[in-house]
Amino acid sequence: MNPTELTHQLIPHENSAVVSTATRYAPANIALCKYWGKRDQTLKLPQTGSLSISLGRHGTHCTIAPAEADSLVINDKHICPTDKVFRRFFAFLDCMRPPQTRLYVQTVNTIPMAAGLASSASAFAAATLTMNDLFGWNADLKTLSILARMGSGSASRSVYEGFVEWLPGERADGLDSYAVPLAPAWPELRIGILTVSDQPKPIGSTEAMHRTVDTAALYSSWPLQVKRDLAALKEAIVEHDMDTLGRHAEHNAMAMHATMTATWPPVIYWLPETVEALHQIHALRESGTQVYATMDAGPNVKLLFPVSEESAVRKAFPSLSIVEP
C-alpha cells in the first residue's frame, strides 16, 4: 500500500467540504525515547515505539487556503517550487488533497531556530490538522496522527500536547502505528536548548536511520534498549520522578548515537562542543544538580531539569534557551 491509497482509505474525498482558509498550530516535540529506524520507508513505520514531550508554544502555525497555483511560504520566505523542502511538503499534501486542488501554504515556526534544531514534526502535524479543518474531514486525532506520520515519523507525536507515546504497530498498512497522549507535562519540568552549531547537518535523519538499520550490527540491541527505557519513562511520568526520567532519556540518546557511530560509513553528528557540553552536564550532576542530556540527529544538546535547578543550569550554560513544555 502507498501513502495515497492509505490516505484515501482514511479520508474519503467525497466527504471534502472545503472552506476558504484554515489555520492550526502544532507543538514541536523532543523524544525522551527515540524513534530510530523504520520497518517501512514509504509509510514511515518505525521499528520500535517512542515517547516524547511536546514543546508548548514552540512549534508551527500553519495556514492553508485554496489557490490558483501551489505556493509555500515559510517564516515569510517564498520557497521555490524546485526546492526540496517544497517538493517534500507538496508530495505529502498530494497524498491527501483532492486531485486538481491547488493550495497556498504558509507556516510560521516559533521554535528557537537554528538548523538541525527545528524539527519537521510540528510542520507536518500542523499541516495535517489544518487540512482536516480546510476540507472538513472531521477526522479523529488517531487518524490525523497516522496522516502526519507520513510527512515525518516524529510528526505523528506532534498532534498532541504533553507526554506522547507513538505505538509502533505491527500491520503492514500502518493503521495501528499512531501516537497516543500519556499525560500533561509536569509544570516543574524544563528543557534547555543548547545550540552548539547552526550549520545544516551533514546527513539527514532519514538517510542516517536507513544506514543504521542496514549496516550496524549494534542496531540489533536497540529494541531491548527501547523496551527498558519506555517502561521506565512511563513510570517516571506517572510518579513525577525526575531522576528516572532524566537517566533513561540520556541513556536512550547515548545508545541511539552509539548505533549511528557503528554504521558504515559512520554517522557522527557530535562536534567537539557537543562532547564538551556532555562533560559539563556530567560534572554538574556529580556536584548534585539534577540535570540530564538528550540529543537528536544533530550536534545540539537538550538539557532536562526541574525548575528548581534553573539558576544552577543557567549559570553553567549562559546561552541556554529554556523552554517550558
Residue bearing cell 549494534: 218
Identify residue 277 by its one-letter amino acid code: A
Grid coordinates belonging to 245 = 526520567
Q: Which is nearer to ligand PMV, 154 or 177 (CB)?
A: 154
List the beta bridge partners of residue 304: 191, 292
The region that residue 70 occupies, defined by phi over 0 for left and psi between -120 and 50 for alpha, beta otherwise, is beta
- Segment near ligand PMV (CB under 6 A); pick from 1-9, 27-35, 86-94, 303-311: 27-35
- Residue 120 touches ligand PMV, criterion: CB under 6 A: yes
Smallest separation (angstroms) from ligand PMV to the CB of 320: 20
* Residue from 11, 22, 31, 146 binding ligand PMV (CB under 6 A): 31
Grid coordinates belonging to 93 = 499534501
Smallest separation (angstroms) from ligand PMV to the CB of 92: 12
The H or E element that residue 95 is part of is: helix 84-96
Residue 89's closest CA among 74, 100, 108, 76? 74
Return d(Cα 39, Cα 276) in angstroms, integer.
Answer: 34
Smallest separation (angstroms) from ligand PMV to the CB of 15: 28
**Both ends of the chain: CA-CA distance in Å?**
36
* Residue from 7, 47, 48, 50 binding ligand PMV (CB under 6 A): 50
Residues 187-206 that bind ligand PMV (CB under 6 A): 205-206
Smallest separation (angstroms) from ligand PMV to the CB of 72: 18
Residues 263-322 that bind ligand PMV (CB under 6 A): 296-297
- Residue 35 touches ligand PMV, criterion: CB under 6 A: yes
Smallest separation (angstroms) from ligand PMV to the CB of 114: 15
Residues 147-166 that bind ligand PMV (CB under 6 A): 152-154
Smallest separation (angstroms) from ligand PMV to the CB of 291: 21
Q: What's the farthest any 2 CA atoms get from each other in the chain?
A: 62
Smallest separation (angstroms) from ligand PMV to the CB of 226: 10
Residues in contact with ligand PMV, counted by CB under 6 A, come to a total of: 14
Q: What is the DSSP letter of 216?
A: -
Do the beta carbons of residue 30 and residue 52 sit within 8 Å? Answer: yes
List the beta bridge partners of residue 181: 164
- Residue 261 touches ligand PMV, criterion: CB under 6 A: no
E strands in 12-49: 22-33, 38-40, 45-46
Q: Which is nearer to ligand PMV, 168 or 246 (CB)?
A: 168
User: What count of Cα atoms within 13 Å lies in the side-chain half-sphere of residue 150?
Assistant: 25
Q: SS3 helix, strand, coil % of the chain, rounded to 5?
A: 40, 25, 35
Identify residue 250 by its one-letter amino acid code: E
Q: Which is nearer to ligand PMV, 95 or 134 (CB)?
A: 95
- Segment near ligand PMV (CB under 6 A); pick from 95-103, 116-124, 135-143, 183-191: 116-124
Q: Which is nearer to ligand PMV, 23 or 206 (CB)?
A: 206
Smallest separation (angstroms) from ligand PMV to the CB of 206: 6
The burial of 15, by beta-carbon neighbours within 10 Å (0-12 exposed, 13-18 middle, 19 or more buried), is given as exposed
- Residue 90 touches ligand PMV, criterion: CB under 6 A: no
- Residue 63 touches ligand PMV, criterion: CB under 6 A: no
Residues 215-254 that bind ligand PMV (CB under 6 A): none
- Residue numbers of the site for ligand PMV (CB under 6 A)? 31, 34-35, 50, 119-121, 152-154, 205-206, 296-297
